[in-house]
Each structure stands twice: as C-alpha cells, then as structure tokens.
Amino acid sequence: MTKVSLLVSLALVGCAVDDLETSDVEQGVTTTNRLATNKLSSNRLATNRLATNSLSNAALTAQPSLIETADGREVFWYVVACALPAGSSVTVQDSTGHSYTFWGEIGLAPGWETATPTIADRHWVTACLLARTNYYGVEVQISMRGSHPALATTLTETSTFKVAEGGFYGDLFDTAAQSWYACGSKRWTSTLAADAQRTCTISQDGVTTMCGFTYTYFCGTAYDRTHPAACGTTKAPFGKCKGGATTWNEVITIFLPN
C-alpha cells in the first residue's frame, strides 16, 4: 500500500480535526497511531450510525453524531483515514453549519465514500481503528499487515518492522452488537509492550486487554488447553481469527521495529 507517515499535532484531550496535520512521505506501508482509548470508547454509540450511511452523507449530523465534538471528529478522522485512499476526502457539516474536511490515507473501504459500507468494509475499518488505538495516547510508528490489497508490504518495511504485536478485528459499526477483539503474539510480552508503549494486546485479567478490547489470547499459538490459538494461521500476519461465535477474515496484524 502507499506509505503515509502521519505527523499528527494532537493534545491528549479536546483536539479538533482542524488541528490534525498530515504529511505524505516516501513509498511504503507504515503509519502512526495515537487514537486514545477513551475517545474511541466514548463514541461507540455514534460509530454504529455510520453503518447505514455513506461517509459523506448529511445524515451524520443526526444525533448521536461524531461531528459535534472534538473527540468525535478525531474518531471520524481516523475512520476516513482508514477507509479512503490518499487523495480522497469527505466534507461534512455539524449542526451549526460549520464544515469539516477529512482526508483518506489507507483505502480499506473506498466505496464507503458514497455508499453504505459492506460488512467487509466495516470489519476492515474496525480492524484499522483498533490497531491504531494507543493506550498511552502517544504516537508510535507501526506496520499494518493483512490480506487486504491496500496493506501490501515492501521489502524495506518487512526488514525494518519484524516483531509481531498481535491481531485486531471486530465490528464497531454493527448497530445490534459492537465487537472489539485483539489477540497477542506470543513474542509480544508485557515488558516489550510497556517499552514500546503498545499494550492493546496485553491482558491483565485474561478477559479484556488494557485498551478494553475482548482478549482472545494468543493469535497463532495455543495459550493453554482451555484457550486454543485464536487464529487459523500460525504465523503473523494472522487471519481467520475467532471472536465470539464468528471467524473473522478481516484481521490487521501490527508489526513493530526490533
């Protein structure tokens, strides 16, 4: 895919989309993450409304709306960045008539710009959002990999980002029941996670990760006899991962530098 490093000027609280600055750089597949967990969690009810609309639909102004608050606009900024390719954008208005423009970056669901999303669209963008969430709210460069054509890698990227953190998948946009899943790579220990400030696949209670995602244990290796490997692929990038009673094909695995 096209490599875009995001130089994001964000405070941890109350950032308007107007303050998000992006800068395109050389070809590759890495990006940054800084979406704070609390911002994603607090806007869960608003995200599911997107499932019945195109990203540019004026119905986004209906309540609950992501566009009405700074935190919501930041979440929507990430939705658009994950869904649309670089060069595409959507402009929406809040209830006061103020317009905001949001730019694409990765291109996991390009059709969502003008039409309602498919189930696969929803799943890919969910995986992207979860993968780009950071418990610490800091910017960390990550390599996103998966079976989607937009996540194709380069030799430079794979030789630089070698350590798999884990897999992310689910459906934030399901109007009936949202789901957030994360499985961890066996190599990704709590010590490594703390040092890298990437702890969204680390669980302290065996139920949820530190970011509040449902923990499905190790991705490609059995955790114990009670918890088999979460995914059908034994090596990263992971795929066919279990979550609830569903096998999810739209999985994004995060790699970090050595």
| pLDDT attached to residue 214 | 96
pLDDT band per the 50, 70, 90 thresholds, residue 80: very high
Q: Does residue 65 contact residue 73 with C-beta atoms inside 8 Å?
A: no
Q: Locate the DSSP E strands across 23-80.
A: 30-33, 35-36
Counting residues of the chain whose pLDDT is more than 70, the rounded percentage is 79
| pLDDT attached to residue 258 | 72
| pLDDT attached to residue 60 | 72
pLDDT band per the 50, 70, 90 thresholds, residue 208: very high
**Nearest-angstrom CA–CA distance, 163 and 38:** 26
| pLDDT greater at residue 169 or residue 57 | 169
Average pLDDT over residues 186-207: 91
Q: Which position has the token pair 């969910």?
A: 126
Residue 14 has pLDDT above 60, yes or no: no
Structure tokens at 237: 């990038």
| pLDDT greater at residue 29 or residue 46 | 46
* Secondary element (H or E) of residue 162: strand 161-171
pLDDT band per the 50, 70, 90 thresholds, residue 28: very low
3-state secondary structure (DSSP) of residue 250: coil
Q: Distances from the Cα of 124 to the Cαs of 26, 59, 101, 104, 234, in angstroms?
A: 24, 22, 22, 14, 21
| pLDDT attached to residue 39 | 63
Q: Does residue 170 contact residue 127 with C-beta atoms inside 8 Å?
A: yes
> Which residues are 254's β-sheet partners?
144, 166
Q: From 123, 122, 120, 144, select the one nearest 133 (Cα to Cα).
A: 144
pLDDT averaged over every residue in the chain: 82
| pLDDT attached to residue 12 | 21
Q: From 97, 38, 105, 103, select the one nearest 72 (Cα to Cα).
A: 38
Dump pLDDT digits (tens) for 168-187. 999 999 988 899 999 999 98
Structure tokens at 51: 């499932």
**Nearest-angstrom CA–CA distance, 85 and 107:** 4
Average pLDDT over residues 70-95: 91
